[in-house]
């Protein structure tokens, strides 16, 4: 199988972390591409009509896409147990929260990168960051016991989301006033799978 990915994509990073945790690194070849919302790479468009990464080209059947779909597929294939039935809805909700953090944080990056400066709206940036801060506050107030429990995809998603905030929004100091979440992430980021997938620009 081939994973269409980018070393800077936090959505792809989630999948890559799962691949490491599930012991599937020998089964999947990473195909790194350069693509943007304004100029979709042809390899990406061929695998995903929406023009987004990651996408997984399987040995049989059509390519599948959206990080959450790929993660469910590979978790099942590798029998990794990162979507445990006993707490499935909590895991999915935590994963969705992480995705929402990424959607808002990446929206700010894209606004700055692709829209002329005189057309950018500070209020829109602030509104997107407000989503991030509400989610981070909720993680600290409601989810720390879950984050500290056995490994699942909710934790992987949150770890990748916090890593992206460090990567693209370190000036916003997300850790301030969130000591418990900061401590959790500091420990989680030392996992071999997280170390092997640290984001970088190409």
How many domains is the chain partitioned into structurally? 2
pTM of the model: 0.96
| 61, 148: one domain | no
CB atoms near residue 179 (< 10 Å): 10
Query: Among 78, 106, 121, which residue terminates a domain?
Result: 78
In this prediction, residues 162-173 reach a mean pLDDT of: 97
For residues 46 and 143, membership in a common domain is answered with no
Give me the CATH number covering residue 158.
Answer: 1.20.1050.10
What's the Cα-to-Cα distance from 30 to each of 13, 17, 25, 81, 176, rounded to whole Å?
Answer: 11, 12, 9, 23, 36
Q: Residue 202 pLDDT > 80, yes or no?
A: no
pLDDT value, residue 200: 93
Looking at the structure, do residues 93 and 180 belong to the same domain, yes or no? yes
- Indicate whether 94 and 165 sit together in one domain: yes
Is residue 201 situated within a structural domain? no
- Which structural domain, as residue segments, surrounds residue 7? 2-78
Q: pLDDT tens-digit profile of 2-12?
A: 999 999 999 99
Q: How many CB atoms lie within 10 A of CB 153?
A: 26
């Amino acid at each position: 199988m081939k994973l269409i990915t980018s070393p800077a994509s936090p959505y792809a990073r989630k999948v890559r972390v799962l691949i490491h945790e599930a012991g599937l690194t020998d089964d999947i070849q990473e195909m790194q591409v350069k693509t943007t919302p304004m100029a979709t790479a042809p390899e990406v468009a061929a695998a995903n009509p929406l023009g987004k990464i990651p996408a997984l080209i399987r040995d049989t059947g059509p390519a599948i896409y959206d990080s959450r779909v790929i993660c469910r597929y590979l978790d099942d294939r590798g029998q990794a147990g990162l979507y445990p039935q006993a707490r499935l809805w909590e895991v999915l909700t935590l994963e969705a929260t992480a995705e929402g953090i990424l959607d808002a944080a990446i929206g700010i990056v894209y606004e700055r990168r692709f829209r002329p400066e005189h057309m950018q709206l500070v209020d829109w940036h602030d509104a997107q960051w407000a989503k991030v801060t509400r989610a981070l506050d909720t993680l600290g107030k409601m989810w720390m016991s879950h984050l500290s429990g056995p490994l699942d995809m909710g934790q992987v998603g949150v770890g990748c989301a916090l890593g992206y905030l460090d990567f693209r929004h370190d000036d916003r100091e997300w850790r301030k006033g969130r000591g418990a979440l900061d401590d959790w992430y500091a420990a989680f980021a030392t996992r071999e799978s997280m170390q092997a997938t640290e984001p970088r620009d190409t």
